[in-house]
Chains A and B, each alone.
Chain A
Amino acid sequence: MSEILLQGGRVLDPGSKRDGPGDVLIRDGKIAAGKPSKDAVVVKVDGLVVTPGLIDPHVHLREPGQSAKETIATGTAAAVAGGFTSVIAMPNTSPVADGPNTIAWMRQRAKETGVAHVFATGAISLGQKGEALAPIGALRQAGVVAITDDGHCIQSAELMRRALEYAKMFDLPVLDHCEDKSLSAGGVMNEGKWSRILGLPGWPGIAEEVIVARNALLAELTGARVVCQHLSSAGSVRILREARARGVRIDGEASPHHLCLTEELVEGYDTNFKMNPPLRTAADVKAVGEAVADGTIRFLATDHAPHCSYEKEVEFDEAPFGVVGLETALGVYLTELVHGQRMALADVVSKMTNLPSDYFGLGRGTLNEGAPADVTVIDLERKWTVRKEEFRSKSRNTPFEGRELKGRAVFTIVGGELRHDLDGRAPKK
């Protein structure tokens, strides 16, 4: 029997509306009630916030096939360092996770090498080519929690409709990277004043909005659950809000960079500010933040997208899209949303715990007795500076290098195991 007692913290469990001083006891990988035994490892967490383990519903672990960028081992190490105990992995691996064998391999690999829980998604279409449906039923049986062609928006409205109809049979969420490729073609940054100055091809907000609108209509038609991933534009948010007000089962994600960074950061052609969708204007940042705060956008998601330095150190238009996020996301959310007075802490934590767990059926995201002992301990006041050399991720492509953040995970416990101890403060067993 192994026990850990987190003693003297503020226990914040939004799913069970709990917020106050208390202890959290972990026994044999579960949240336990009652008194600790005399052998319990006691970790003092005075002044810290104890929350259910954080969940990131959108990461790229790059395994199989792109292990120079990241592996399940390094990606989950980055996750726990950032306070995440569960991640949902996107299927754009090599090979694409469009069949049960790849899912099974990935889940086995995660069991053997991962230090956080990894939930799989499968592709919507074979090879993420947007032409023919992947074996969605078999993917479901293999354990995927959603289907998505992330990075490759389904261009055919007809195929998207059929995917939603089919997924509805299992009530399986469908996640869509919203990008009308005919409108974004060749675009590498937001279309607007700065793309005109810099002479870079623009990827306009309208290319996202057209697909968000399409998805809202198709979600309404089919009754399927749809998540519009990493929303970046004010127009998308407005469409989402209107559809949700009508009762459509459509949701959205917001990424750390879209909550605080804007297009003019591309000025020096630094490819660490190149992501898809691109950084947009201050008005877009404000609208996305408001939608997160008022619940229009249900999820906070990093879109952790590791790339090797040599891949990013090329001409701006040649560089791959994407930035890492697992190790900076919590700090950014706390700094921008909580300390920035845009949201209450409990609402931010809820979006990272019970909301994604309930939506994707992960069976965690709470500190109730008997729940899996995934726990994150956060120092809200901890000031720190982002230093990419310190990342556990294999990749260094962060847009937050050198940024001062306030708030950080100091302990991360996954299934009762202490996986991250920022200051090495926990007593050894």
Chain B
Amino acid sequence: MSAVWHQKDLLSLRELSVDELNQVLATAKVFKEILGRPIKKVPSLQGRTVVNLFVEPSTRTKISFELAAVRLSADVVSLDKDSSSLRKGETLSDTAKNLEALQAGVIVIRHRSAGAAHFLSRRLKASVINAGDGAHEHPTQGLLDTFTIQERLGKLEGVRVLIVGDIIHSRVARSNLWALTKLGAKVTLVGPPTLLPKEFAELGVKVAYDLDQELEQADVINLLRIQHERMVQARLPSVGEYAGLFGLNLDRFKRCKPGVLLMHPGPVHRGVEIASELADGAQSVILDQVTNGLAVRMAVLYLVSGGRGLGES
């Protein structure tokens, strides 16, 4: 595969080509190998500055990006809403101009508003990486999930992936469905109609409302977090009812394929989305996802910074 990455930014997976997706995955594979070495640091981004602008709170994604940048030898600055002038009413536009003036090379942004990364990218010469924008996309999560499936199953073509839960509010579901369908996987979304609007069927995936009907064919089950904070009461009678209809419990697990992969973007609500025993069980790849997230984020930071030549064959 030749180097095809020419993007300044990573804003969404919908806007990436198959070749670009494959290049990120191949590059991540190289970084994962490096992460297995005793000396885990490479000098690729030495002298470059990565700013993590986390306007919406996040722990694991922020730490993952920080560590990825450190492993690439970049200088890293992390800002959250409380420590930045956004709290004092500064607009995102003004924050962007200030970051530009400080000559940051890469801005990693997490924001509650869909489109915030696009907003920054139009105003900045710096590279912008979307670390989650509202309910739009979470591209590095989609990439790390895809990477994990490919690593474990050896392929993506024809792999049947179930994504279960609060689809309407999920940027993880959106990024997953674009990456997976572009790379040949068959994606089925499952959830109650209040959280899974029918228009998703126009995006190249199957939409289903009965988890029990879908379990047996699945090679991968990705269980999304039920986000209490985003749930309007009218969408779901109770978390308990959700767990009964859409939670992966032991009975349901017995009917799954033996080699099924169980995924969750975290943080897990044990006993709601997935039984505690299954989250910790042999089929769970939840912690692989976290490790792979680091490799994928290194790959993305490297590529948007103009890195070439890794992962080519």
A171 within 8 A of B: no
Chain A residues, CB < 8 A from B113: 315-318
Min Cβ gap A273→B in Å is 11
Is the pair B174, A199 in contact by a Cβ cutoff of 8 Å? yes
Q: Does A269 contact B (CB under 8 A)?
A: yes
Mask for A303-323, Cβ within 8 A of B = 1, else 0?
Answer: 000000010011111100000
A316 to B135, CA, bound (A): 13
A192 at the interface (CB under 8 A from B): yes
Q: Nearest chain A CB to B54's CB is how many angstroms away?
A: 15
- Contact flags B229-270 to A (C-beta < 8 A → 1, else 0): 000000000000000000000000000000000000000000
Q: Which residues of B contact A316 (CB under 8 A)?
A: 113-115, 119
Q: How many angstroms between the C-alpha atoms of A205 and B84 in the bound complex?
A: 39
Residue A245 at the chain B interface, CB threshold 8 Å = no
A309 and chain B: residue at smallest CB distance: B93
C-alpha gap A201/B197 in the complex (Å): 12
Residues of B within 8 A of A313 (CB): 91, 93
Contact present for B202 and A199 (CB under 8 Å): no
Whether, in the assembled complex, A193 has its beta carbon less than 8 Å from a beta carbon of chain B, the answer is yes
In angstroms, Cα B133 to Cα A317, docked, is 12
Most buried by B among A192, A195, A196: A196
Known: A268-B118, A315-B113, A316-B113. A199 touches B133 (CB 8 A): yes
Q: A269–B114 contact, CB under 8 A? A: yes
Contacts of B125 in A (CB 8 A): none
The reply to whether the CB of A1 lies closer than 8 angstroms to some CB of chain B is: no
Most chain B CB inside 10 Å of its own CB: which residue of A193, A268, A315: A315
Instruction: Kindly report which residue of chain A lies nearest to residue B115, judged by CB atoms.
Output: A269
In the complex, whether B273 has a CB less than 8 A from a CB of chain A is: no
Partner of B137, one of A199, A315, A318: A199
Rounded to whole angstroms, the CA-CA distance of A247 and B174 in the bound complex is 48
Closest to A202 in B: B197
A317, B135: Cα distance in complex, Å: 12
Give the complex CA separation of A90 and B122 in angstroms.
Answer: 34
Task: Return the contact of B134 from the options A197, A200, A268 (Cβ within 8 A).
Answer: A200
B133 touches A197 (CB 8 A): no
A201 to B174, CA, bound (A): 14
Complex interface: chain B residues within 8 A of A192 (CB): 199
Q: Find chain B residues with CB under 8 A from A193 CB.
A: 199, 202-203
A198 interface contact, C-beta 8 A: yes
CA A200 to CA B199, docked complex, whole Å: 14
Give 1 or 0 for each of A195-237: 1 = CB within 8 Å of chain B CB: 1111111000000000000000000000000000000000000
Contacts of A314 in B (CB 8 A): 91-93
Q: How far is the CA of A340 from the CA of B135 in the complex (A)?
A: 38
With A313-B93, A314-B91, A314-B93 given, is the CB distance from A196 to B115 under 8 Å?
Answer: no
Is B203 touching A315 in the complex (CB atoms < 8 A)?
no
For A195, list chain B residues within 8 Å (CB): 199
Please give, as numbers and ranges, the residues of chain B lying within 8 Å of A201 by CB-CB distance.
135
Contacts of A191 in B (CB 8 A): 197
Measured in the bound complex, the distance between the Cα atoms of B12 and A268 in whole Å is 12
By beta carbon, the residue of chain B nearest A196 is B199
Residues of A within 8 A of B187 (CB): none
Q: Is the CB of A196 within 8 A of B92?
A: no
B174-A197 in contact (CB<8A): yes
Q: Please, which residues of chain B bring their CB within 8 A of the CB of A196?
A: 168, 197, 199-200, 202-203
- Residues from chain A with a CB closer than 8 A to the CB of B197 are 191, 196
Task: Please report B residues at the A interface, Cβ cutoff 8 Å.
Answer: 14, 91-93, 111, 113-116, 118-119, 122, 133-137, 168, 171, 174, 197, 199-200, 202-203
Given contacts A193-B202, A315-B92, A315-B115, 12 further A-B pairs with CB under 8 A are A191-B197, A196-B168, A196-B202, A197-B203, A198-B115, A199-B114, A199-B135, A199-B171, A200-B115, A310-B93, A314-B91, A315-B116
